[in-house]
Structure 1
Amino acid sequence: MKHDITNEADIKLMVDSFYAKVGEDEILAPIFNEKIQGNWPEHLEKMYRFWGSMLLDQNNYVGNPLMKHLTLPISEEHFERWVQLFLITLDELFFGPVADHAKVRAQNIAKMFQQRIGAYKDKPFSMD
Structure 2
Amino acid sequence: MNHETEPPRYAEPDESNVRSLVEAFYRRVDDDPLLGPIFSRELTGRWDEHLAKMTTFWSSLVLGSKQYRGNVQEAHRPLGDIEPQHFARWLSLFLNTVEARYEPAAAVQFMEPALRIAQSLQLSKFGWDYPIPAEQQELLAALKRLRTGGEPQPDLPARSGGEPFPARFVGRGKPG
- Give the Cα separation in 2 of the matches to 1:14 and 1:36: 19
Percent identity among equivalent residues?
A: 33
Q: Does the Cα contact within 8 Å between 1:5 and 1:96 map onto a contact in 2?
A: no
Q: What's the Cα RMSD here?
A: 1.4
Q: Which runs of 5+ in 2 are unaligned?
A: 1-7, 129-176
Do 1:28 and 1:81's aligned partners in 2 also have CA atoms closer than 8 Å? yes
Q: CA offset at residue 106 of structure 1?
A: 0.7
Verify the 8 A CA contact 2:10 2:106 in the aligned structure 1. no
1:19 has 2:26 as partner: yes
Question: Any idea what the Cα deviations from partners look like across 1:90-126, whole Å, max 9, x if unmatched?
Answer: 1111114232121111111111101101239xxxxxx
Q: Structure 1: where are the runs of 5+ without partners?
A: 121-128
CA distance in 1, matches of 2:109, 2:119: 15
- Secondary structure in 1 matching 2:49: helix
Preserved contact between residue 23 and residue 29 of structure 1 (Cα < 8 Å): yes
State the SS of the aligned residue for 1:59: coil
> Relative contact order: is structure 1 or structure 2 higher (C-alpha 8 Å, sep ≥ 6)?
1
Cα 1:46–1:105, aligned 2, differ >3 Å: closer, same or farther?
same
The answer to whether the 8 Å contact 1:55/1:98 transfers is: no
Q: Deviations over 1:20-63 (max 9, x none)?
A: 00000011011111111110000000001000000000010000
Where does residue 3 of structure 2 map in the other structure? none
Matched, 1:106 2:153: no
Q: What is the TM-score normalised by the length of structure 1? A: 0.88
Q: Of 84, 98, 116, which aligns to 1:90?
A: 98
1:50 aligns with 2:57: yes
The count of aligned residue pairs is 120
